[in-house]
């Protein structure tokens, strides 16, 4: 069973209050739609000749009270009159529309099928005279809703992967001071601007400053980019604090091109100032902050 909600407080917000995180499958079962149409008129895109959104809302309330139940009675009469014909027509319409609500992963495809079914029912009711709307208007409205759902979701791919990337991005944005600067070493192929010379001297000084609650190191790699080196246990702790699997987070970062990997390892060996031998760290590029 699937529900569509325009609640002011989303499922992710409610789950976050319990210090947990929402999962992609949950967001498929509860499809959230923003109650703001983005036209400065609250829920409405078109006021249909009314002077204000409140006037239009009052008009809808009055019409709902006056004609309450009228469309569903006619719809049920048509269904019970020839159920097989109605089913065939709805399946036909849904089949025509489903490609208009596509996605890259199963979660998006499942939601797309829900919107395609709603569009099919709406267009069927228009064709059957149940709704006095222009043909194609139900399909168009559902396409707008689907696109807004995708925008709100932030990805046409896996939501769990998107949330994992957001979690690491959010941690870096909130705690840049928990990464100790690492003095740059000469690196073949690195491109440094003249301004990098002064920056490197500043980094040398900062690298000697102790960092409280350190989770890793930060290294300037040229071209205005940095690497954030997460110590392995810190990375695992940061991921698990919100119920993420460290391996799944690493894979999500890798798939987006934010994680430097080494052969079969998501963590790479780096020489650290307080370790006698290189250890494996999770190297996240600062491009994650601008994505």
pLDDT (tens digit, 0 to 9) for every residue of the chain, 291 residues total?
A: 566 777 667 777 777 777 777 777 777 888 888 777 778 888 888 898 999 999 999 999 999 999 999 999 999 999 999 999 999 999 999 999 999 998 777 889 999 999 999 999 999 999 999 999 999 999 999 999 999 999 888 888 888 999 999 999 999 999 999 999 987 543 433 333 444 444 555 555 555 667 789 999 999 888 888 999 999 999 999 999 888 999 999 999 999 999 999 988 999 999 988 788 999 999 999 999 986
Q: Report how far residue 122's alpha carbon sits from residue 258's, in angstroms, rounded to the nearest whole number.
A: 43
Question: Is the model's pTM score more than 0.85?
Answer: no
What is the domain partition of the chain in residue ranges? 3-35+69-153, 160-289
């Amino acid at each position: 069973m699937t529900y569509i909600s325009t609640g002011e407080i989303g499922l992710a917000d409610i789950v976050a209050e319990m210090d947990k995180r929402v999962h992609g499958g949950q967001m498929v079962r509860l499809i959230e739609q923003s109650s703001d149409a983005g036209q400065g008129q609250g829920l409405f895109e078109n006021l249909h000749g009314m002077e204000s959104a409140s006037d239009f809302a009052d008009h809808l309330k009055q019409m709902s009270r006056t004609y309450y139940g009228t469309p569903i009675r006619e719809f049920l009469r048509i269904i019970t009159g020839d159920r097989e014909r109605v089913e065939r027509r709805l399946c036909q319409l849904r089949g025509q529309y489903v490609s208009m609500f596509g996605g890259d992963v199963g979660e998006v495809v499942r939601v797309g099928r829900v919107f395609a079914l709603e569009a099919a029912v709406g267009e069927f009711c228009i064709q059957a005279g149940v709704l006095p709307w222009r043909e194609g208007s139900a399909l168009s409205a559902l396409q707008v809703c689907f696109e807004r759902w995708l925008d709100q979701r932030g990805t046409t791919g896996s939501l769990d992967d998107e949330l994992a990337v957001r979690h690491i991005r959010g941690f870096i944005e909130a705690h840049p001071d928990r990464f100790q600067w690492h003095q740059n070493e000469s690196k073949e192929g690195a491109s440094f601007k003249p301004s990098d010379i002064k920056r490197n001297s500043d980094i040398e000084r900062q690298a000697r400053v102790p960092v409280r609650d350190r989770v890793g190191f930060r290294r300037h790699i040229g071209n205005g980019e940095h690497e954030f080196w997460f110590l392995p246990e810190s990375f695992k702790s940061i991921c698990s604090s919100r119920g993420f699997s460290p391996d799944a987070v690493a894979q999500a970062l890798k798939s987006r091109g934010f994680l430097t990997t080494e052969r079969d390892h998501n963590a790479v060996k780096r020489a650290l100032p307080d370790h006698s031998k290189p250890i494996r760290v999770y190297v996240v590029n600062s491009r994650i902050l601008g994505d």
